Structure 1
Amino acid sequence: MKSIITLPATSQALSFDGEPSDAELDAIELEIPLILAERDLLDVEIALLDRQVSELDAQRLRRHQRRVLAARRDLTNRTAARSGGAA
């Protein structure tokens, strides 16, 4: 039988109160446009699961896919600008 060795708790683990830190909240705030674009794309994809896709539906799907790509591009550029690089 193997024994289980417990590691000493770090001060960071002891101070965790279950709430996100300010840095985590800032990161979420930065990602909100991408999160919303992905949510909207998912809504379109779900709506198209159980029906024949018309030309209008296909255009709607492509439009939301482009919005997700644009939001990802913008997020990447903002992140690179904050860290001093360029994407």
Structure 2
Amino acid sequence: MPGTVISAPEVTHVSKHGFWLLLADEEVLLPFEQFPWFRRATIDQISHVEWPTPEHLYWPELDIDLSLASIRQPDTFPLVAKSGG
């Protein structure tokens, strides 16, 4: 099993276009256009993110699981589910 992640992910900025997430020494953007599940989420729901493995993030209040690969290279994951709203 890969090493344990010791840094907690941190939401550093939220705008009408998406949000930035700091993961140790890397900051990634999750645009709502590509990640529509977050569009109607509250700041508290977006900010409550867990990092159970080095390549996996989980938002328990939203029941959203994402691989970091899908965030870093969203074009290689072209299928986007429709949001509920």
TM-score normalised by L of structure 1? 0.20
Larger helix fraction of residues: 1
Larger strand fraction of residues: 2
User: Which of 1 and 2 has greater Rg?
Assistant: 1
